[in-house]
A and B are shown apart, each in its own frame.
Chain A
């Protein structure tokens, strides 16, 4: 079956620090990969995606590269802001509809 493993949180950084949140996956078939973000008190919203090997998804300064050889999709940002404080979910899909989510990583950015 499909599964997603994210690094354990919480992650606490100072403003302007470099961020990496690791995500690895196991999938039957050829997955599409996603990062979702959940701000406090809100639902999840799509942050970025990649649909084939070596694709780089990017949005709001965040990036992730689809690495088929290492089955990874690590999230990175060069300089985090306080407003990036949120929970980040890695997810994959191999079929027509269902997404499989990781457990989420809480990021707190201090000024």
Chain B
């Protein structure tokens, strides 16, 4: 059981380049989300999805696109990278959150640097 798999682990981009951060889960979780983690800012939600074909914006969606064509995959696309997008990105997934549930399963992160 691999859990949540993120690729790549590290990436350096030049300003203006585009790229896709991959996230895959094998737990049949309905909910998937992307966060960015910056020093002193905690975790900020970028986009999330409650099922295939359904996505919505979080707190900081500008400059990012997502799609959810399958239950397993939730890629995050940077359209035109900017230095302000230098961050560590985490993907997280969960099933329906009944009151006794354990919250999210996180991937190990992608460290992105935009120069």
Is A43 engaged at the interface, CB distance under 8 Å to the other chain?
A: yes
B109 in contact with A42 (CB, 8 Å): yes
Taking residues whose C-beta sits less than 8 angstroms from the other chain, chain B's interface range is 20 to 34
Q: Which residue of B lies closest to A106 (CB)?
A: B39
Q: How large is the interface on A (under 10, 10 to 19, 20 to 34, 35 or more residues)?
A: 20 to 34
Residues of B near A32 (CB, < 8 A) are 97, 99, 101, 103
Which A residues are CB-close (under 8 A) to B43? 44, 89, 101, 104
B96 touches A96 (CB 8 A): yes
Chain A, 31-68, contact with B by CB distance < 8 Å: what is the 0/1 string?
A: 01010100001111110010110000000000000000
Contact A103/B42 with A43-B108, A44-B106, A98-B48 known, Cβ cut-off 8 Å: yes
Complex Cα distance, B18 from A27, in Å, reads 38
A96 smallest CB distance to B (angstroms) = 5
Q: A95-B97, A99-B104 are in contact. List 15 more A-B contacts (CB 8 A).
A: A32-B97, A32-B101, A43-B4, A43-B92, A43-B106, A43-B107, A44-B43, A46-B104, A49-B103, A52-B99, A93-B97, A98-B48, A101-B43, A103-B40, A104-B42
Interface residues of A (CB under 8 A from B): 32, 34, 36, 41-46, 49, 51-52, 89, 91, 93, 95-99, 101-104
